Chains A and B, each alone.
Chain A
Amino acid sequence: MKSIVVTMAHGSGGKLTQELIEEHFWPRFTNPTLDSFLDSSILEIQKEIAFTTDAFVVKPIFFPGGTIGKLAVCGTINDLASVGAQPVYLSASFILEEGLTWKELDAVLDSMAETANEAKVKLVAADTKVVERGAGDKIYISTSGIGYLKVDPVPQPRRMENGDAILITGSIGNHGLAVLQARNSFFTKLPVESDCAPLWGLVEALLAAKIPIHAMRDPTRGGLATVASELAQASRLAVTLQEDQIPIDAPVQAACDMLGLDPLTLANEGKLVIIVPSAAANEALRILHQHTYGRRAERIGDVQCQPEGLALLRSRIGGTRILESLSGEPLPRIC
């Protein structure tokens, strides 16, 4: 009798492991490198590469706008894109919890394969392990990625300059809120989806137009506030954001107001903060606006010399507050 769920036997390394791979992984990710089934994949590679690794444990594994699989691929691609590297190869390790249904696994793998195809990256190494029921949470995925560096010098905070413009590629807080809603069902209906998306295309378009990108970050955990604060610290310059310029969808803002959350500290999985010379800002925005994932890009602030190392938010009525890295989890408040 064929099992309807993942069992410990699927992690034994024997016949059932082979079945798991052949029936669920192989059809979705087949490529010559993976198909060689060597203990290590042999890759052709250019001289200068970017390399990154990440682990994904999101709960629930399905949420509006994405899955843990899509998130894993996007997260790795976006880390590479943030240094100006074209994502080329991915590896993925899967920790499956006993009892995971094939339907769940297939849906996660489908979304991974779809996103990898869209971004033209190949999965060239993979592994699965199974843990006992209760020892994991359905599925954990750890991915690594290799990208070809497409820009020299590499965008990084110490290249930021006084007067630079700060851009965001779209509205913030959608992913963080979509996951919180999926976890807690605060609202009977909340029209908010995760922004989870692979962003190399955006960066590629900017580089093709010779936009000199000084620095770039994807504001994932900790949100825009954390990235702004880290950019200020790393550059030893001041980062000033204008509250009324930051794109926030109305349902995100309304839900945050009700729950006592700050959209600036919520995670994003399909956004980039891009720092360019002020003179290049309009051209960069024009290019971003032509792209699916950059339609709502905005200039949200500027880099200044003082106060050194601090990120500031100018409120819409003219006040100023310091933006800090998120400490701990974003917790709903009663007050």
Chain B
Amino acid sequence: MLPPQIQLLSGPGCPVCVTAQGDIDAAIALARIPGVTILTFGDMIRVPGSESSLQMEHACGRDIRILYSPYDALHIAMENPEQQVVFLAVGFETTMPLIAATIRSAAQQRITNLSFFLMGKLLPPALRSLCKQDITRIDGFLLPGHVTAILGIEPLQFLATEFRRPGVVAGFQPEEILLALAILVRRIGAGEIGVEIAYRSVVRPEGNRTAKALLKEVFQPTDVTWRGLGLIPDSGLAFQSSYANFDARKRFSLQEFASKDHDGCLCGEILCGRFTSKDCPLFDHACTPETPIGPCMVSSEGSCAAAYRYERWK
């Protein structure tokens, strides 16, 4: 649909897709502890660890349950007092406030058999880290509507002030994406930098103050590893000390699992436009939608997954 001079690079993907291999390995180690029940969002169970996945562990008999709302964790913990229930808390700024609210409720209700394995991630630090690598080939940014619905646009103004690029907050329906693209293209043409909202039905410039306050109350920023992008300073969430007794890592004295990104995975470079998916030595060999390695292949909407599917056609 788009004219050939517009190229879209998509990624790194959703909070699930960027979960590091080491974190999946740690979750699997938790699942293997007798008496532990793992709660997870559905799409986590396919993400590959170093030698297994939660799906495979479930098939081997571990107690791994899919839930749909973080709040369900409270009921499941209360209904299974003899089990240690661990919620795999993944999410960007969009989901993490809900998880923060759940943790606060668990504290208020003094639920002692529930803990949280935090894998939450923050978008602005990751975007900044990508920009720092190489911004030369990127003319502008389509920015995610739901993250900015929480954060507002202030945390993304660095795109203009530091990197002199325009950004437009887009919705998710095709019309909304086209609208945002049209505005972005006009801004690029006119040399207008700055962040604009093209999703005003949902996003306010100041974001959602209540959600932001919740995030601050329960979590603090920490350095975390992203699949395919490596360690990014202050891009993850850790517990504030007042909630630290809900930390599954501490409760089970979990060791650190190294996240060794596969040699040769070029996701970071692909997202900067320095390489295309086809340049990656793993693409269509070791890395396919059935056996994904980098986040751009794990995510069905990622650049590599799209390239894999559509190159066969074109």
Contacts and interface: CB of A to CB of B under 8 A. Distances in A.
B181 to A, nearest CB: 12
Given A319-B1, A328-B46, A331-B43, A184 B68 contact: yes
Given A315-B174, A317-B178, A318-B1, A332 B68 contact: yes
A333 interface: yes
A47 interface: no
A331 B46 contact: yes
B158 interface: no
Contacts of B309: 322, 324
Contact of B174 (A186, A319, A322, A331): A319
Contacts of B174: 315-317, 319
A316 B178 CA distance: 13
B290 A333 contact: no
Contacts of B41: 332-334
B175 interface: yes
Given A316-B174, A317-B175, A328-B46, A334 B290 contact: no
B16 A331 contact: no
Interface residues of A, number: 21
Contacts of B45: 331
Contacts of B183: none
Interface residues of B, number: 26
B90 interface: yes
A310 B43 contact: no
Interface string B48-78: 0000000100000000001010000000000
B15 A334 contact: yes
Interface string B140-170: 0000000000000000000000000000000
Nearest to A329: B42
Contacts of A333: 14, 16, 41-43
A319 B1 CA distance: 6
Nearest to B67: A184
15 contacts: A259-B68, A310-B313, A315-B174, A317-B174, A318-B1, A319-B1, A319-B174, A320-B1, A324-B309, A327-B289, A328-B46, A331-B45, A332-B43, A333-B42, A335-B14
Given A318-B1, A335-B16, 14 more contacts: A259-B68, A260-B43, A310-B312, A317-B178, A319-B174, A322-B310, A327-B290, A331-B43, A333-B42, A334-B15, A334-B41, A334-B90, A334-B91, A334-B95
Interface of A: 184, 186, 259-260, 307, 310, 315-320, 322, 324, 327-328, 331-335
Query: Nearest 5 A-B pairs (CB), nearest first?
Result: A335-B14, A331-B42, A334-B41, A317-B174, A333-B43
